[in-house]
């Protein structure tokens, strides 16, 4: 089932300190997640939750997410439009 971006935005408050509400990382060791596909975002969140992928911060965060939370928060970050500018 496709996630709900409005519910996802609400859930993303728990992510904002590190990833920003806009998906642009606030710290150098944190990845930007704006505009990544829902397929990729959901896969990574489930991998953190199951322990397949491990990170001291993300593993704890992901443990508290339901399947619906993952679908919704992934829908929110995937819906953010990004622009890129190539270096000269």
Q: Which is nearer to ligand HEC, 49 or 88 (CB)?
A: 49
Contacts of 12 (CB under 8 A, 6+ apart): 19, 21, 73, 76, 77
CA distance to 13, 26, 70, 88, per residue, from 46 (Å) = 19, 23, 8, 38
Q: Which residues bind ligand HEC (CB under 6 A)?
A: 14-15, 17-19, 29-31, 33, 41, 44-45, 55, 57-58, 61, 73
Supply the minimum distance, in Å, between the C-beta of residue 44 and ligand HEC: 4
Which residue do the tokens 């990004």 mark? 82
Contact 3, 75 (CB under 8 A): yes
Supply the minimum distance, in Å, between the C-beta of residue 83 and ligand HEC: 18
Q: Which is nearer to ligand HEC, 64 or 87 (CB)?
A: 64
Q: Which is nearer to ligand HEC, 52 or 55 (CB)?
A: 55
């Amino acid at each position: 089932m496709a996630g709900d971006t409005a519910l996802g935005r609400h859930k993303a408050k728990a992510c904002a300190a590190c990833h920003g509400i806009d998906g642009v990382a606030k710290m150098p060791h944190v990845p930007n997640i704006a505009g990544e596909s829902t397929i990729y975002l959901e896969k990574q969140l489930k991998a953190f939750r199951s322990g397949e992928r491990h990170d001291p911060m993300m593993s704890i965060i992901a443990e508290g997410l339901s399947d619906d939370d993952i679908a919704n928060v992934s829908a929110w970050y995937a819906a953010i439009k990004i622009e890129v500018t190539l270096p000269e």
